[in-house]
A = this chain, B = another copy of it.
């Protein structure tokens, strides 16, 4: 941390709130994926950085940007109103997450200085726990009926196997993947390239509303902010980083979905593709991927086998990664409500745990990610492997 003589210049912003408020402000200043802004943030901290950007005539205090570019940051910083944005997200029933928060998905830290400044989140479930057991299903907006069919099958199949389906809420493949997961009563996360209260694309406003109710809608952009071409592209790195693997269903050459897949590969995540007819331009990008880093899959079982295989936390192979005592009380109640033998539906379980089915489902996915429960079709049961303490890992791992 550098504390220069101009630190006093940031007093007005610092006075306006905590580091969290400064980060909220910076989501309006630093564009998604901006590594220069990310480096400043890492070096100076959010309050200090915001202070320097809002101080009068302070161009030399931030290394690595041209005068013109710095002027852009300063202009955006001058109009940022984090208090209003935090009020807006609260009014929408959402929250703002910062790195270090209990719910922050640490997978995103793999992005280094391109890590999101913060995440705006709507929906009940715990993002960190859901991300542990998530897979991205992405692809072309103008997909073929075959692509839509495959995305739906994968969304449903992955949800039925207890995986959280992450996508971008776009038309075509993304929407089909979300809908497939929702239709199975499963878990799904939409990562938007705009404010999480915006509901873009328009035609998916109701779908996004359903995802807020049954899953999570997240994004880097503050409330009300709109998508741009570069924001779409850069949103993809969040999808890639958040998940264990990215499945591309249909994609033309040079498509955004391939960006997501290649980003996943760079981050050491699984890069996966669904083949299609060799004559289809909408499969050409996927085939390109499959000739390189991509692994070919034809159904949800293939995907689950791949992403479940070598995950650090794969609960199927190790048992729970957290002792029961550390569960939060509401999740513990859901766990308690499960019968010792046999499986129950979400509705019945919600009744037993004294909460709503949506809340129960969110907690079940948490418990699943942590290895406490198993899903069998529409029913849930206690996992059959023995519970091990956190330090009780088997030798060899």
- A binding-site residues for B, Cβ under 8 Å: 146, 149-150, 274-279, 283-284, 287, 290-291, 295-299
Question: Do A275 and B291 touch (CB < 8 A)?
Answer: no
Question: Do A277 and B279 touch (CB < 8 A)?
Answer: no
Question: Do A276 and B274 touch (CB < 8 A)?
Answer: no
Question: Do A277 and B277 touch (CB < 8 A)?
Answer: yes
Measured between beta carbons, the chain B residues less than 8 angstroms from A277 are: 146, 275-277
Q: Report the minimum CB–CB distance from A303 to chain B (whole Å).
A: 11
Which of B146, B150, B279, B291 lies in contact with A296, CB distance below 8 A? B291
Which of B149, B150, B275, B299 lies in contact with A275, CB distance below 8 A? B275
Measured between beta carbons, the chain B residues less than 8 angstroms from A298 are: 278-279, 284, 287
Measured between beta carbons, the chain B residues less than 8 angstroms from A295 are: 291
User: In the bound complex, what is the Cα–Cα distance between A287 and B297 (angstroms)?
Assistant: 8
Query: Which one of A278, A298, A299 has the greatest number of beta carbons of chain B within 10 Å?
Result: A278
Q: Report the minimum CB–CB distance from A379 to chain B (whole Å).
A: 27
Which of B150, B279, B297 lies in contact with A279, CB distance below 8 A? B150
Q: Report the minimum CB–CB distance from A336 to chain B (whole Å).
A: 41
Taking CB as reference atom, which chain B residue is nearest A284?
B298
Question: 22 A-B residue contacts at CB 8 Å?
Answer: A146-B279, A150-B278, A150-B279, A274-B278, A275-B275, A275-B276, A275-B277, A275-B278, A275-B283, A275-B287, A275-B290, A276-B276, A276-B277, A276-B278, A277-B277, A278-B299, A279-B298, A284-B298, A287-B296, A290-B296, A291-B295, A291-B296
Q: Report the minimum CB–CB distance from A20 to chain B (whole Å).
A: 45
Taking CB as reference atom, which chain B residue is nearest A249?
B278
User: In the bound complex, what is the Cα–Cα distance between A149 and B279 (angstroms)?
Assistant: 9
Taking CB as reference atom, which chain B residue is nearest A297?
B278
Q: A274-B278, A277-B277, A278-B299 are in contact. List 19 more A-B contacts (CB 8 A).
A: A146-B277, A149-B279, A150-B278, A150-B279, A275-B275, A275-B277, A275-B278, A275-B283, A275-B287, A275-B296, A276-B276, A278-B297, A278-B298, A279-B298, A284-B298, A287-B296, A287-B298, A290-B290, A291-B296
Q: Report the minimum CB–CB distance from A139 to chain B (whole Å).
A: 13
User: In the bound complex, what is the Cα–Cα distance between A119 and B291 (angstroms)?
Assistant: 37
Taking CB as reference atom, which chain B residue is nearest A299?
B278
Measured between beta carbons, the chain B residues less than 8 angstroms from A276 are: 275-278
User: In the bound complex, what is the Cα–Cα distance between A149 and B280 (angstroms)?
Assistant: 13
Q: Report the minimum CB–CB distance from A297 to chain B (whole Å).
A: 8
Taking CB as reference atom, which chain B residue is nearest A146?
B277
Taking CB as reference atom, which chain B residue is nearest A302?
B291
Taking CB as reference atom, which chain B residue is nearest A292?
B296
Measured between beta carbons, the chain B residues less than 8 angstroms from A150 are: 278-279
User: In the bound complex, what is the Cα–Cα distance between A85 and B275 (angstroms)?
Assistant: 49
Measured between beta carbons, the chain B residues less than 8 angstroms from A275 are: 275-278, 283, 287, 290, 296
Measured between beta carbons, the chain B residues less than 8 angstroms from A284 are: 298
Measured between beta carbons, the chain B residues less than 8 angstroms from A146 are: 277, 279
Taking CB as reference atom, which chain B residue is nearest A275?
B275
Q: Report the minimum CB–CB distance from A45 to chain B (whole Å).
A: 47
Taking CB as reference atom, which chain B residue is nearest A295?
B291
Taking CB as reference atom, which chain B residue is nearest A278?
B298
Q: Report the minimum CB–CB distance from A209 to chain B (whole Å).
A: 31
